[in-house]
Amino acid sequence: MIKLIDLLENKILVPRRSPEERQKNYLISIQKKVQQYIKDGGKGILDLSDTPITSLPDNLTVGRYLDLSDTPITSLPNNLTVKGDLYLDYTKITSLPDNLKVGGNLELLKTPLSQKYSKEEIQKMVPGVEGDIIP
């Protein structure tokens, strides 16, 4: 009986793609998802939580909510409009654009912004948030 370790040592079973290549391909697929969302008219939700996304295109409009929780994103694009809630929980977000518009709540749990600024200070930074700010 052939053991798996023997197969690996003899290079009979070799992964076709490295972890880095798989990660790169995954990021490309996420970027394609965003482009398809825009092409489809920006309707509904855009859920990018738990993905490696680091940036979004300028002038993005999201029809319902945008979930970027648990992503490495550090800043938002210019002229971002989210008609529902914007979830930035557990991100590395360090800045919010002046022209950010959020029709619902802005969630910033466990972010550098929520640790550095009070809820009131964040509200002054982003007057375009119609709902509650949850630091």
CA atoms within 13 A on the CB side of 92: 9
Which residue carries 């709540």 as its tokens?
105
Which residue carries 């990018």 as its tokens?
48
Tens of pLDDT, residue by residue over 68-126, are 999 999 999 999 999 999 999 999 999 999 899 999 999 999 999 999 999 999 999 99
The answer to whether the CB of 135 falls within 8 A of the CB of 108 is: yes
The answer to whether the CB of 103 falls within 8 A of the CB of 84 is: yes
Token pair recorded at residue 22: 């798989």
Q: What is the pTM of this model?
A: 0.86
How far is it, in rounded angstroms, from Cα 77 to Cα 38?
A: 14
Q: pLDDT grade, residue 12 (50/70/90)?
A: low
Q: pLDDT grade, residue 127 (50/70/90)?
A: very high
